[in-house]
């Protein structure tokens, strides 16, 4: 007979599985971010992972399937639905439907976090699914709303353990470059967007490669190792020179940078409006105590998404470290955002200003873990109640229930109880703080034995014969009355500072 077909356990490219350690680290990280966002007065909201494709703004009317950059499918009503590619577009739809309701007030301040999906070619550091944590203010056109986003971004980095001097929030305005392009005769929206996207890759490619993206296009790997082709913005050499000159990283004081920008936007009303907004943001952040070492105006920031209409900002990590192979790593941008005054307006037919900031949780978590700023150890596991006698499962399950009733994480060992050593190994791999043991002798005495696995681990590191070894040996295992089980487990947990509340 033919052997049955064995399905191969495959993970699609651009996706990853996450275990308890990664999930626990994400929880600690998002808790820190949430605390800062709520300190600024933002409240939570959740939107679905799927939206109608036209609501996301990612639809292609000249193709049968709107799948550029997003994952899409048709429902039973033949409506195109897509997985969200960010958290901002769904928020715009949500707010648009809420405006005018009695319980909804503008300006509206909210935060969200969750998974987003990109239908793009996977690569190093580029995933098809990743997590973002956003905060947005909808209904305010004031530069103060943008300045607040930048200050909150800086505060969030420090709340995550990134010291001043190891990050910077860089601020620019799309109106500046937009105005300069119009003054040069570049008015086609697609050409402008390709220009923005080319500049947005300055942290990935050297200047000569950016010039290719601003011109006729770029081949991945060059002419020798030809890869995917990226279409260029088709600017003239003279236009490319002017753009490259304008978007150089900023040096000097706020006054000096603004002076340079005022000169660059001469003849462009839109450009002057953009510089004026940057000047206001710079003043507001400086007066609030956020110096150039934390928030600075930087013309090299443009952001690649089409919907930005004004100030844009990015958080860049400045510190360098090494990967597992000893190669230097600089993380670059770990978050960003900007003003998107037209996104909500698409649903309303009236102006609705908005600005927001997004942290790339997955990318920032990788950076924090690599530099030792985020504990990647799994959380403390449950107390394990071991099984000595198969016939007394009900007794052991009762102990588990008592522990759980006291809000103590606990589980009954459900494997083969024949080898008690395997039960202890299981508890150790589960990162259990202690195990509960009751054999026939303990049952006859009305007692249970508690084995402190944390002290036991310390004991294994000590040399026998020392006083502290004898002390820890006494601490590692103790017998108590059955009625004192919960109290004694609580004592062990408290000794090690363990709490699940």
Task: Name residues whose C-beta falls within 8 Å of residue 272's C-beta, 6 or more positions apart in sequence.
Answer: 179, 262, 265
Residues 440 and 474 both lie in one domain: yes
Report residue 335: phi and psi, to 5°. Answer: 180, 160
HSE value, Cβ hemisphere, 13 Å, CA-based, for 215? 15
Residue-level pLDDT at 337: 93
Residue-level pLDDT at 486: 96
Task: Name residues whose C-beta falls within 8 Å of residue 444's C-beta, 6 or more positions apart in sequence.
Answer: none
Assigned token pair, 43: 């409240």
**What percent of the chain has a predicted confidence (pLDDT) above 70?**
90
CATH of the domain at 402: 3.40.50.800
Q: What is the three-class DSSP state of 217?
A: strand
Position 59 in a domain: no
Task: Name residues whose C-beta falls within 8 Å of residue 483's C-beta, 6 or more positions apart in sequence.
Answer: none
Distance CA 340, CA 353 (A): 7
Position 67 in a domain: no
| Mean pLDDT for all residues in the chain | 87
Residues 4-18 have pLDDT tens digits of 778 899 999 989 999
90-116 burial code (b ≥16 CB/10 A, e <16): bbbbbbbeebeeeeeeeebbbbbbbeb
Looking at the DSSP assignment, which residues form a beta bridge with residue 247? none
> Which band of pLDDT confidence, cut at 50, 70 and 90, is reported for residue 58?
low
Residue-level pLDDT at 470: 47
Residues 464-495 have pLDDT tens digits of 555 554 455 566 889 999 999 999 999 999 99
Report the 3 state secondary structure along 92-126: HHHHHHHCCCCCCCCCEEEEEEEEEECECCCECCE
- State the sign of the Cα–Cα–Cα–Cα dihedral 159, 161, 165, 168: negative
Residues 98 and 30 both lie in one domain: yes
Residue-level pLDDT at 461: 62
Residues 336 and 238 both lie in one domain: yes
pTM listed for this prediction: 0.83
> Which band of pLDDT confidence, cut at 50, 70 and 90, is reported for residue 59?
very low
> Which band of pLDDT confidence, cut at 50, 70 and 90, is reported for residue 450?
very high
Q: What is the mean pLDDT of residues 370-381?
A: 79
Residues 154 and 258 both lie in one domain: yes
Q: 295 with 169: CB under 8 angstroms?
A: yes
Residue-level pLDDT at 99: 95
Residues 61-96 have pLDDT tens digits of 334 555 678 898 899 988 989 999 999 999 999 999
Domain end call among 370, 396, 425: 370
Residues 94 and 212 both lie in one domain: yes
Residue-level pLDDT at 469: 47
> Which band of pLDDT confidence, cut at 50, 70 and 90, is reported for residue 222?
low
Total domain count, the chain: 2
Residues 352 and 411 both lie in one domain: no
Residue-level pLDDT at 38: 98
Q: 433 with 461: CB under 8 angstroms?
A: no
Residues 351 and 408 both lie in one domain: no
Position 476 in a domain: yes
Please give the C-alpha separations between residue 89 and each of 84, 174, 196, 337, 374, in angstroms, as whole numbers: 8, 19, 19, 13, 30
The residue ranking higher by pLDDT, 229 or 348, is 348
Looking at the DSSP assignment, which residues form a beta bridge with residue 72? 82
Whether 223 has a pLDDT exceeding 60, the answer reads no
Of 115-119, 250-254, 361-365, the range with the lowest mean pLDDT is 250-254
Between β-strands 295-297 and 167-173, what pairing exists: parallel, antiparallel or unpaired?
Answer: parallel
Which helix H or strand E contains 436, and what residues bound it?
strand 434-437
Q: What is the mean pLDDT of residues 348-370?
A: 90
Position 363 in a domain: yes
Position 13 in a domain: no
Position 71 in a domain: no
Residue-level pLDDT at 472: 55
Whether 203 has a pLDDT exceeding 60, the answer reads yes
Whether 334 has a pLDDT exceeding 70, the answer reads yes
Domain end call among 370, 395, 421: 370
Residues 386-417 have pLDDT tens digits of 999 889 999 999 999 999 999 999 999 999 88
Residues 247 and 269 both lie in one domain: yes
Domain end call among 370, 392, 408: 370
Per the structure, the complete domain to which residue 157 belongs is given by 20-49+84-370
Q: What is the three-class DSSP state of 432?
A: coil
Residue-level pLDDT at 316: 92
Distance CA 344, CA 347 (A): 6
Residues 199 and 303 both lie in one domain: yes
Q: 365 with 374: CB under 8 angstroms?
A: yes
CATH of the domain at 111: 3.30.930.10
Whether 462 has a pLDDT exceeding 80, the answer reads no
Residue-level pLDDT at 456: 79
Residues 165 and 248 both lie in one domain: yes
Q: Backbone dihedral region of 342: left (phi > 0), alpha (psi from -120 to 50 degrees) or beta?
A: alpha
Residues 110-165 have pLDDT tens digits of 999 999 999 888 876 678 999 999 999 999 999 999 999 999 999 999 999 999 99
Whether 33 has a pLDDT exceeding 60, the answer reads yes
Distance CA 37, CA 311 (A): 20
Please give the C-alpha separations between residue 42 and each of 104, 108, 111, 136, 305, in angstroms, as whole numbers: 14, 8, 6, 8, 24
Position 375 in a domain: no
**What percent of the chain has a predicted confidence (pLDDT) above 90?**
51
Distance CA 313, CA 77 (A): 40
Residue-level pLDDT at 471: 53
Residues 212 and 246 both lie in one domain: yes
Whether 279 has a pLDDT exceeding 90, the answer reads yes
Position 12 in a domain: no
Residues 360 and 425 both lie in one domain: no
């Amino acid at each position: 007979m033919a052997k049955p077909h064995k399905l191969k356990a495959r993970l699609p490219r651009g996706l990853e599985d996450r275990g308890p350690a990664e999930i626990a680290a994400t929880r600690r990280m998002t808790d820190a971010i949430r605390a800062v966002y709520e300190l600024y007065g933002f409240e939570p909201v959740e939107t679905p992972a799927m939206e109608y494709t036209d609501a996301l703004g990612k639809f292609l009317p000249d193709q049968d399937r709107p799948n550029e950059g997003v994952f899409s499918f048709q429902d039973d009503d033949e409506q195109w639905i897509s997985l969200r590619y960010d958290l901002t577009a769904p928020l715009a739809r949500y707010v648009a439907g809420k405006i005018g309701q009695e319980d909804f007030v503008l300006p509206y301040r909210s935060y969200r976090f969750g998974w987003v999906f990109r239908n793009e070619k996977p690569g190093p550091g580029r995933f098809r699914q990743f997590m973002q944590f956003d905060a947005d203010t909808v209904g305010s056109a004031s530069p103060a709303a943008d300045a607040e986003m930048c200050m909150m971004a800086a505060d969030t980095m420090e709340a995550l353990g990134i010291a001043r001097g190891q990050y910077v929030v860089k601020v620019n305005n799309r109106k500046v470059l937009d105005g300069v392009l119009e003054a040069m005769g570049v008015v086609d929206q697609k050409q402008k967007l390709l220009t923005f996207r080319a500049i947005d890759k300055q942290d990935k490619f050297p200047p000569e490669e950016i010039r290719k993206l601003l011109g006729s296009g770029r081949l991945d790997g060059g002419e020798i190792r030809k890869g995917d082709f990226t279409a260029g913005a088709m600017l003239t050499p003279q236009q490319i020179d002017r753009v490259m000159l304008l978007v150089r990283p900023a040096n000097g004081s706020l006054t000096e940078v603004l002076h340079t920008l005022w000169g660059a936007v001469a003849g462009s009303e839109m450009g002057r409006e953009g510089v004026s907004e940057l000047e206001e943001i710079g003043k507001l952040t400086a007066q609030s105590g956020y110096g150039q070492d934390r928030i600075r105006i930087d013309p090299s920031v443009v952001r690649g998404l089409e919907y930005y209409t004004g100030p844009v900002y990015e958080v860049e990590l400045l510190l360098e470290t090494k990967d597992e192979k000893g190669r230097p790593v600089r993380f670059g941008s770990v978050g960003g955002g900007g003003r998107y005054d037209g996104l909500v307006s698409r649903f309303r037919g009236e102006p609705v200003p908005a600005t927001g900031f997004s942290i790339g949780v997955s990318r920032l978590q990788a950076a924090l873990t690599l530099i030792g700023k985020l504990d990647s150890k799994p959380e403390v596991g449950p107390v394990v109640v071991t099984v000595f006698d198969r016939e007394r499962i009900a007794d052991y399950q009762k102990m588990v229930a008592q522990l759980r009733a006291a809000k103590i994480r606990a589980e009954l060992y459900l494997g083969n109880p024949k080898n008690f050593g395997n039960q202890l190994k299981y508890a150790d791999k589960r990162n259990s703080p202690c195990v509960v043991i009751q054999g026939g002798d303990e049952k006859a005495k009305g007692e249970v034995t508690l084995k402190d696995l944390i002290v036991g681990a310390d004991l294994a590191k000590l040399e026998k014969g020392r006083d502290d070894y004898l002390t820890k040996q006494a601490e590692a295992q103790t017998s108590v009355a059955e009625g004192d089980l919960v109290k004694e487990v609580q004592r062990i947990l408290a000794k090690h500072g363990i709490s699940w509340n």
